[in-house]
Amino acid sequence: MDSEQSTNYSEYSYEKTVTAKDKLKRVLYFICVVLVMLLPLFVMLIVRIYTSKAYIIMYIMPLFIVLGIPLAKFFFRYFQVEYKNIVDRSTFKMELIHGKAKPRLLYEADVHDMAFAVPATEENLQKYKDEARDITARCLVTDDSPDAYITLFKDKNGKKVFLYFEGSKKALKIMNYYNKNVVVSPDLSH
Query: Whole-angstrom Cα distance, residue 34 to residue 103?
Result: 30
Task: Indicate if the pLDDT at residue 56 is higher than 80.
Answer: no
Nearest of 134, 188, 179 to residue 159 by alpha carbon = 134
pLDDT value, residue 6? 64
182 φ, ψ to 5°?
A: -90, 120
Question: What's the whole-number mean pLDDT along residues 28-36?
Answer: 86
Question: Binning pLDDT at 50, 70 and 90, where does residue 190 land?
Answer: low
**C-beta neighbour count of 181 within 10 angstroms:** 15
Question: Binning pLDDT at 50, 70 and 90, where does residue 5 land?
Answer: low
pLDDT digits (tens, 9 = 90+) for 105-152: 999 999 998 999 999 989 989 999 888 899 999 999 988 888 899 999
> What CA–CA distances, in Å, run from 15 to 39, 50, 85?
35, 52, 12
User: Are 107 and 164 a contacting pair, CB within 8 Å?
Assistant: no
33 φ, ψ to 5°?
A: -65, -45
The domain segmentation of the chain, as residue ranges, is 1-184
In this structure, the strands spanning 9-15 and 81-88 are: antiparallel
Query: Whole-angstrom Cα distance, residue 105 to residue 81?
Result: 14
The answer to whether the pTM exceeds 0.95 is: no
Q: How does DSSP classify residue 8? A: T
